[in-house]
Structure 1
Amino acid sequence: MNITKREEDILESLYKEDGPLSTTELKSSTGIGTKAIGYSVREKLEPEGLVSYEYEESNGTEVRVHELTEEGESKIQRGLIGDVFGKSSESDPEKVALKAQVDEMEDRLEKVENKTQANKQILDGLQTRLDKAVEYIEKHDTRLNGLRWALEDSSLMLSIEEYVEKVRENSE
């Protein structure tokens, strides 16, 4: 957005007043001529959505009253419009500090996103291993149940508990 010094002065005046100003009041506070104010407002500031104006009757004549829009006020507060208050955002310590905080927060967010992605990959790997383990256990559980039933039905006359004890003794 390309804002001229004249337009900056109009915006600053409206911002500082925190309310509507007539063309005469704007002329008085900025030193800008009536025609130049009208041109700047109609051709630049209103089409950009920064300033609105309407006509009001005062002492039997129509007076144009200008007001900063919410969008205009927001852009000024965020430092998005030119050099409205005569100091560049690079030299404004508060804006520099805020920008540094934003940059730091963006860096931290990126690190968190990277860690989250890495953790997701680890969890995916663990889930794959867990699925394989469950499959293995189910497969061998069926075999063990088959052996248990075979032993119980066999002529060896061994109980499962006795058989487990013998296996333990032999494996130690």
Structure 2
Amino acid sequence: MALTEEQRKRMEENRKRALEIRKKREMEKERGETVEGFFAAAPPQEEGLQHKKRKVDGANEPKEDKKQRSNVLLSGEREDCENSDDESLEEFERDASAYVSKTEAQKTYCLPKGTIDVLSFVERDNPHQRGFSKMKLYSRAEVRRRARKRFGGKSGLITEREKRKMKRYEQELKEVKCLRR
């Protein structure tokens, strides 16, 4: 059975479209390195990337240095102050990604939801499933600054973490004691 010219043309179009899709996927695999289940910092031209800035009381217009800092973060580079202040980073932060999820910010930096909600964030497609809602990723440097300001520096933050860890331990101990009765 011979194919008509229209069928051949349609087959050729489908083949080209399939090749384009394959190239896109290969590019995403090359570029789509993940860190802790999240996409590593990628250039702002990527689809699904939106940068949103929230304003806090009286901050009608963001300062120039804030704009520059957010542009640097969007390009996936770390902030200058973070690189020069490398000795003040904690051990787990040295090779960590530039972005942090809301849950990780709450656990690691002991910040409440209200404080995290006012920080600037980048929306990215969820790497676990495209159908899920977009993830909000917060700048690790900005979250770190807020946490250290809130708890009085690096040592205060470490003390707060230990305090919370002890509180969880005591709570678990109480639960175990209740189970034994």
Structure 1-normalised TM-score?
0.29
| Higher helix proportion (structure 1 or 2) | 1
Larger radius of gyration: 1
Greater relative CO (CA pairs within 8 A, separation 6+): 2
